[in-house]
Amino acid sequence: MEQAIARLEGAMELRPYSVPEGMEGKEAVVGKGRNQQQVKMTVAAYSAAKFRHIRAALVETSGPTQVLNFVIFPDPSLDLPIFGADLVSLPGAHLICIDLQARIRFRKQLNSQYQKSQHTALAAHAQARLPWGGNLPSAAQRFFSPHCIWSKVGDIEVVETAALEAMLAYLDHYLAMAAAAEPVKDEGLLKGLAEGHLAYSRYRRINDPARGMLTRFFGTEWAEDVISHALFDLEAKVDSGAVSLAHGQELLAEMAAEP
């Protein structure tokens, strides 16, 4: 994670991003006897000129479970995808997901042939070392690009080498895209981008695969609060007026009315 933050610091000025009090981190002891383990979660967050929310959540345990969820949410006025990287170590398996995650039409968010070919080459290089992990959940597929890395491996060395290299390569490409991005002026596209941001945040808030683990480690109340207000906070921020989003209140009302 230090390497990723160093790349960000080399490309832009990072500003602190407020994490709600009590959600910056938490520790607990879980299990009994030989199964007892210490667990710790930390949340580090920043913002920058073109990024609304840069956030790394790290779960560390004294056992085999280790989880990194690293997400960069761009400013909603920019036609950029969301950068997402998950490196998850569980007993007996390691899960890897790295992507520039689409919000409307992916072709819009790789807006030149050069960028598209470069990203395809990056994905092909990484996927050669990180075999495809199987079908993604159907409800989640619209949030992933054609160049997503999704892999399940048995060797931690693969996570520490190929997966880390792939994450940094995707991050470098993403930062180059962001450097060239200009604010969107078209009102229809702005609404589409806002809708995409909210839909992604809502889906992740409701379906966060870490919910069960966080609940088991830290209890239901804290788990729900940290997911909704520290990890995927856009709905709460728009609802409170802390974030101004094109058609934000209208879109929130439409989502609330959905079955």
Q: pTM (2 decimals)?
A: 0.89
Check residue 110 and give its pLDDT.
Answer: 55
Asked whether residue 162 is assigned to any structural domain, the reply reads yes
Q: For residue 132, how many other CB atoms are within 10 A of its CB?
A: 11
State phi, psi for 190 to the nearest 5 degrees: -60, -40
pLDDT at position 152:
92
Please give the pLDDT value at position 122: 74
**113-129 vs 164-180: helix crossing angle, rounded to 10:** 170
- Residue 225 forms part of a structural domain: no
Q: What is the 8-class DSSP label of residue 231?
A: I
Series of mean pLDDT values for 10-residue runs along the chain (259 residues): 88 94 94 89 96 96 93 92 93 92 57 64 79 85 84 90 91 91 89 88 92 95 97 91 74 68
Q: Which two tokens stand for residue 98?
A: 């790295």
Q: In the chain, how many domains are there?
A: 1
Helices vs strands, H then E, count in the chain: 10, 8
Q: 169 in a domain, yes or no? A: yes
| Secondary element (H or E) of residue 189 | helix 187-207
Residue 14 and residue 54 in contact, taking contact as beta carbons nearer than 8 Å: yes
Q: CATH number for the domain including 9? A: 3.40.1500.20
Assigned domain for 17 exists: yes
Nearest CA-CA partner of 73 in 183, 196, 240, 192: 196
For residue 246, the number of C-alpha atoms closer than 13 Å in the C-beta half-sphere is 19
Residue 248: inside a domain: no
pLDDT at residue 107 in the model: 46
Residue linked to tokens 């080399």: 10
Q: Report if residue 204 sits inside a domain.
A: no
Domain interval for residue 143? 2-184
Longest Cα separation, the chain? 61
Is 170 part of a structural domain of the chain? yes
Residue 233: its pLDDT value, please?
Answer: 94
Q: Measured on CA atoms in the order 46, 82, 200, 112, is the torsion positive or negative?
A: positive
Per-residue buried b or exposed e for 90-127, using 16+ beta carbons within 10 Å of the residue's own CB = eeeebbbbbbbbbbbebeebbeeeeebeebeebbeebb
Question: Is 197 part of any domain?
Answer: no
